[in-house]
Amino acid sequence: MLSHGLRAPNAAGSAASTTALKPSKAAAVNGLFASVPLFASCSKRELKLVTKAAVVEHRAAGATLMTEGQTDTNAFVILQGRCRVVRKGRRVGAIEAGGVVGELSMLNRAPRNATVVAETPLEVAILGRREFLAVLEKSPSISFKILESLAARVQELDARAPC
C-alpha cells in the first residue's frame, strides 16, 4: 500500500525520471478527487471508496496517457504535474493537478476524443471502469450524484451552443 491507501503501481507504470515526485498523502488525494466535478458532491466516505479503487502511478515527461481515437476505459486524475491536450494535431488545452481526463470513456467506452501527453513528470491516479463499477455497486448513492453531475455538464454545454 502507498501512504495514501491507493494500490501501488505495477512496474510498467514506474519511470526512473519521476523520482523527484513525492507520493501524495491520502488527504491530498481525496481533496483532488473532491475537486473533480464528477465526484464533487460525494461524501468523504464515498470519496474514500473511489480513491481506494484507483492505482497511483508515476509517468515521465513525454509519456502519453491516452491517444485520440483509441478505445480505453481508464480515467486519470492528475495528482502532480501538467499535461497537454491535443486534438487533431493541435494543442487545445492543458490539465494540471486536480484535473481529470478520460472520465467519459470510463463511463461509456467511447473512443478518446483527444491525446493527452505529460509535459512534466506526473503522478496520476488511474481509475479503471471495472473497479469504478464495483464502487458503484458498493455505494449506489454515488451513481445518483454522478448522474446529477453529468446532467449539469450537459446543460452547461447546451447553454454554450449557438442556437
For the chain, the structural domain boundaries read 24-156
Res 21: pLDDT? 79
Strands, E assignment, the chain: 55-59, 64-66, 74-80, 82-87, 90-96, 100-101, 115-118, 122-128
pLDDT at 19: 54
Q: Within the chain, which residues score under 70 in pLDDT? A: 1-20
Cell of 151: 446532467
Please report the pLDDT score of residue 14 as a whole number. Answer: 42
Owner of C-alpha cell 515527461: 61
Q: What are the residues facing 91 on neighbouring strands?
A: 86
What is the C-alpha end-to-end distance of the chain, expressed in Å?
51
pTM of structure = 0.82
> Domain 24-156 adopts which CATH fold?
Jelly Rolls (2.60.120)
Give pLDDT, residue 158. Answer: 84
pLDDT value of position 149: 87
